[in-house]
Amino acid sequence: MEGDFFQPLSNELAQLRWQRHLDDNERPCLLLLSVHLMIRDPPLAKEVFFGPCSPYQYRLRGPGAWHGARKAILSQWNRVYPTQWEAPDKPVPDPPNMMLFWSLFLGLFIVVLWWVLYAAAVSLVGA
């Protein structure tokens, strides 16, 4: 029984008994449970593997099995409430008119180019 005791610090006298808490039934064996569920109850197998993980799955088989676990797993989505707030439908803004953007950009480019060339010509004539 020497391996069953755990002493946290050498200066403390209290010894604690180590227990295997839920090691044997910690989680269902997926291989055995999958074969068992696929053969006997395909809708339940689908809900167990593709649905949310719920504590009812631990009560399907083994010690502490509960006969209402199947019904609880299949009806768990009925107990989920929808969100209380949903975003209002916003009107989608129209995309910007790209033709207008490029025509304004081209016009501004022509004005700036004319101003630079005009300023260069005036400076050459005046010098």
Which DSSP string corresponds to 63-113?
A: TT--TTHHHHHHTGGGGPPPPS-----PPPPPPP-HHHHHHHHHHHHHHHH
Number of domains comprising the chain: 2
Question: Residue 51: is its pLDDT beyond 90?
Answer: no
Report the chain's C-alpha Rg in angstroms: 37
CB atoms under 10 Å from CB of 21, counted, come to 7
pTM for the whole thing? Answer: 0.44
Q: Which residues pair with 17 in a beta bridge?
A: 5
34 and 64 share one domain? yes
Kind plus residue range of the DSSP H or E element containing 5: strand 5-6
Q: Is residue 48 part of a domain?
A: yes
**Better pLDDT: 47 or 5:** 47
CA distance 99 to 123: 36
Q: What is the pLDDT of residues 29-42, one digit of tens each?
A: 666 667 778 888 88
Q: Which residue has the tokens 């088989």?
A: 61
Q: Measure the CA angle with vertex 64, ends 60 and 66; round to 5°.
A: 45
Domain carrying residue 127: 99-127
Question: Residue 16: is its pLDDT beyond 80?
Answer: no
Q: Is residue 115 part of a domain?
A: yes
65 and 31 share one domain? yes
Residues whose CB is less than 8 angstroms from the CB of residue 61 and which lie 6 or more positions away in sequence, other chains included: 28, 33, 36
Average pLDDT over residues 43-53: 86
Q: What is the pLDDT of residues 91-115, one digit of tens each?
A: 777 777 788 888 899 999 999 999 9
